[in-house]
Amino acid sequence: MLKLIKEIGQYGLTCIGIILLLASPAMIGGLNTFTSTILTIMKNILQPHTLSYYVHSETRSYARMPEVRSEEFHQQAVTIDLFPYITDSYFYSLTLLLGSFIIAVFIVMIASMMYIHFPPFLKKIILATVGILESLPDVFFIFSIQLSVVWFYKQTGIELAAAYSTDDKPAYLLPLLTLSVVPCIYLLKMNLLFMKEEMEKDYVLFAKSKGISNAAISFHHILKNTVMECLTHLPVIILVLVTNLVVLEFLFNSSGIMRFIIGDQPAASRAFMLILLMTPLFIVVKGTIHYRQRFYGKKGGGNG
């Protein structure tokens, strides 16, 4: 019970931090303005039906004849209700985040199982290659995958996946694969390093001496322990996913929640959507930590 209260307190502090962050521009007007903005945001968050959304549009007009014909563009911002307008964008971004993480974990597990059976010289090459890939910027992978799909389409006329999103057809496959690349490389490097350490521990030698096959040792002992160690890096991986999602939504022309959060929108609406996005991620992190603690509790804090 005490642990649950502590986690609820951490969630509350995280929400307060988000509100303070989005209210911080009001500090220019002084402490009173800052305090008033915080209270306004909190009041609107507690009443989601009052939240609004700015839709920006542009109209074109022409001067009357016989004057010289010219064009004028007029920027307009229409205020509409936040819900249910933003619902599709929220679930789209959440699908990309969770889906790319699952893809990355699946690829890492398969690659790790294969890595155990490789000869030593090939293991060194793989570790070096992963280290090089880790040093490359995130945008490099996004552009490379997009250009590869476009190049393949121009050469064969076959569209492997949508290279960008439209209003009627949002792209899923390519953004999912692209967003999973960086966490996959990060997780793979961590897991391979942990596996290298696990292979040198006494329980592995003891299991081999009892005649247990390498496949059984790898799956039932080494892989389980390394995955549990990798879970300690889950907050970092989620942070990487969220920051990459900002870039990805712009480059794929996707109408996701991150474009709304960093856009020109009411502070209360942005705070509410950021809290709404943070909530499932917070639950995943806390649930994973709890599962890891139970795993090591059952194992008595040891390996095997």
* SS3 of residue 299 by DSSP: coil
Query: What is the torsion angle, in degrees rounded to the nearest 10, for the CA atoms of residue 228, residue 190, residue 234 and residue 4?
Result: 30
Please compute, for residue 87, the number of CA atoms within 13 A of its CA located in the half-sphere on the CB side: 5
- Asked whether residue 60 carries a pLDDT value surpassing 60, the answer given is no
Q: Measured in Å, how far apart are the chain's first and last C-alpha atoms?
A: 31
In this prediction, residues 186-214 reach a mean pLDDT of: 76
| Residues 76/57, Cβ–Cβ less than 8 Å | yes
Q: Would you call 11 exposed, middle or buried from its count of C-beta atoms within 10 A (0-12, 13-18, 19+)?
A: middle
Please compute, for residue 295, the number of CA atoms within 13 A of its CA located in the half-sphere on the CB side: 16
61 or 160: which leads in pLDDT = 160
DSSP state of 63: P
In this prediction, residues 295-303 reach a mean pLDDT of: 57
In this prediction, residues 219-224 reach a mean pLDDT of: 71
- Asked whether residue 302 carries a pLDDT value surpassing 50, the answer given is no
Tens-digit pLDDT profile for residues 136-187? 887 888 888 888 888 888 888 887 777 777 777 888 888 888 888 888 888 8
Does residue 175 have a cis peptide bond before it, meaning omega lies within 30 degrees of 0? no
| Residues 221/194, Cβ–Cβ less than 8 Å | no
Closest by CA to 11, choosing from 292, 285, 290, is 285
- Asked whether residue 61 carries a pLDDT value surpassing 80, the answer given is no
The string over 257-272, giving b where at least 16 C-beta atoms fall within 10 Å of a residue's C-beta and e elsewhere, is: bbbbbeeebbbbbbbb
- 26: confidence class by pLDDT, cuts 50, 70, 90: confident
Strand extents, DSSP E, 13-165? 52-62, 71-81
- 301: confidence class by pLDDT, cuts 50, 70, 90: very low
Tens-digit pLDDT profile for residues 222-243? 777 777 777 788 888 888 888 8
Tens-digit pLDDT profile for residues 96-129? 998 998 898 888 888 887 887 788 788 888 888 8
Joined together, the tokens standing for residue 245 give: 């999602």
- Asked whether residue 67 carries a pLDDT value surpassing 70, the answer given is no
* SS3 of residue 51 by DSSP: coil
- Per mean pLDDT, which range of 1-15, 72-86, 236-250 is the poorest? 72-86
In this prediction, residues 256-268 reach a mean pLDDT of: 83
Task: Give the span between the Cα atoms of 280 and 284, in whole angstroms.
Answer: 6
pTM of the model: 0.79
Q: Which residues pair with 37 in a beta bridge?
A: none
Question: In which element (H, E) is residue 33 found?
Answer: helix 31-45
Task: Give the span between the Cα atoms of 163 and 130, in whole angstroms.
Answer: 26
